[in-house]
Amino acid sequence: MDPTKTTLVELRDAIAAKKVSATEATRAYLGRIDRHNGPLHAYHETYADRALQRAADVDGGKITGPLAGVPISIKDNLCTEYGHTTCSSKMLENFQAPYTATAVVKLEQAGAIVLGKTVLDEFAMGSSTENSAFGPARNPWDTQRVPGGSSGGAAAAIAADLCAGSIGSDTGGSIRQPAALCGVVGLKPTYGRVSRYGLVAFASSLDQIGPLTHTVADAALMLQVISGQDPKDSTSAGVPVPDYTEQLDSPPQGLRIGIAKQYLSDANHPAVKRAIDQAVAVYRDAGARIVDVDLPHTEYGISTYYLVAPAEASSNLARYDGVRYGRRSPESTDLISLYSRSRAEGFGEEVQRRIMLGTYALSSGYYDAYYVRALKVRRLIKQDFDAAFESCDAILCPTTPGPAFRFGEKTDSPLAMYLNDVYTVNANMAGIPGISLLGGFASPDGLSHTDGGGLPVGVQFLGPLFEEAKLLRIARLYEAAAGYTHARPSLT
């Protein structure tokens, strides 16, 4: 068997049954990275020697667990004691973390093998990875197009079979949006479901860690491993973690799928509309009830997000001052020039833009008019979802307005770039879970079931707080009916 052409669950089972060794699987993925990472730039760095040693320990019985021998990647804003943690920024170009993120510790305790760290938009601020200080990742379906962001490298690595599973972070759609553009599964858990300890902070009240995989079952297994309360993270929730893999193929009884008119914009690409229509038909055929729900404050999501997130970013990124760690300008002559030069040299344009936006929103005289007002609207957005979930089990909507765009197409218009997250940011504002699945392809002849049918488009499911188990079962119903799980880009 070719270990790189399986799902995560299939590979885990094959290794356990000794149909393939962990060493063989790891070598196969490392070989594929050697062949394809050059043009894709999904990985910033890899850890071949360490990965092979851990694979040998799995084969020798020293390492066991529910992910024993499964090669994965992690986004380069998760701290590890090995390698570098750069956040794709010159500010942290040579930074080596003194500790490892809880999510990564849990994955390795479960037996997973970390192949390397993936490229992202600098400090997770972006929707295309074009903001990476070390060059963007590229979409495996068309390398002239973006893979999405900020977890673009992670999504590209999964889509191109450069790992069996990946971990990203989602602050305003940074797992789900690239998952949609690269045609894979991306899951943002409820805020507090997964410990953020060791995740380099962007916006602390919005950030959440989650998996990118080929299938819903793969995502369920990875979420199972990384979930749970952590004493090192005071925002992690003490809510019991159910077995996400249990009854995954059993749809909930009396299923109600909500459709919000606010997500059915005429600006959506025709293939996105067809994908949503197809998904609605799947649930109708399965006996689910389709109900209309109202999310009246949806239109304020982007403007609210781009006040709250930059405000928190300006506070979190104040620690990068050139004194204790990170870039230190050699041109500084006093304390003020040390701060200003180090930050000007270390931060890219988009990060600087958001720091300035956030600092302005928090400044004296503007705090109440901008930041406090944004927090009030955030509460209204959450109340919209609370009311909607009284009449439905999940909300079906697009993940993005359209397929992947070309490099440079939106870089001159920050607003156009920000609008790529119009269907994802509100889940972060409300703290609810969301999952994106491949919903079809944008091509001249519409939706295609073939690998080469065009560019992927995603469908998204949003659920109530801490209802990931039900959300995964709902998503699995669609995945099984749609039949896209084996779609892969053709790499040359």
Active site residues: 75, 150, 174
Q: Which residues of 374-401 are buried (b: 16+ CB within 10 A; e: fewer)?
A: beebbeebbebbeebbeebbbbbbbbbb
Going by C-beta distance under 8 Å and a sequence separation of 6 or more, which residues neighbour residue 235? Answer: 191, 192, 196, 204
Please tell me what DSSP assigns to residue 126. -
Tracing tokens 């209309």 back to the chain, one arrives at 292
Q: How far is CA 97 from CA 79, 105, 263, 318, in A?
A: 6, 14, 41, 18
Token pair of 11, please?
A: 């590979």
Are the C-beta atoms of 470 and 394 separated by less than 8 Å? yes
Tracing tokens 């159910």 back to the chain, one arrives at 242
Q: For the residues of 270-292, what is the DSSP string, one character each?
A: HHHHHHHHHHHHHHHHTTPEEEE
Q: Which residues pair with 257 in a beta bridge?
A: 290, 394
Residue of 33, 57, 63 lying closest to 46 (CA atoms): 33
Residue of 312, 44, 117, 111 lying closest to 202 (CA atoms): 312
Token pair of 67, please?
A: 């992910």
d(CA 8, CA 71): 9
Residue of 132, 127, 110 lying closest to 41 (CA atoms): 132
- First-to-last alpha carbon distance for the chain, in angstroms, is 21
Are the C-beta atoms of 307 and 51 separated by less than 8 Å? no
Going by C-beta distance under 8 Å and a sequence separation of 6 or more, which residues neighbour residue 457? Answer: 180, 269, 271, 272, 275, 398, 399, 400, 402, 403, 438, 439, 440, 441, 442
Going by C-beta distance under 8 Å and a sequence separation of 6 or more, which residues neighbour residue 426? Answer: 295, 298, 301, 305, 381, 385
Are the C-beta atoms of 209 and 169 separated by less than 8 Å? yes
d(CA 343, CA 345): 5
Amino acid, single-letter form, for residue 201? A
Residue of 148, 124, 130, 137 lying closest to 207 (CA atoms): 124
Are the C-beta atoms of 449 and 403 separated by less than 8 Å? no
Q: Which residues pair with 242 in a beta bridge?
A: none
Are the C-beta atoms of 156 and 40 separated by less than 8 Å? yes
Residue of 176, 217, 223, 210 lying closest to 438 (CA atoms): 176
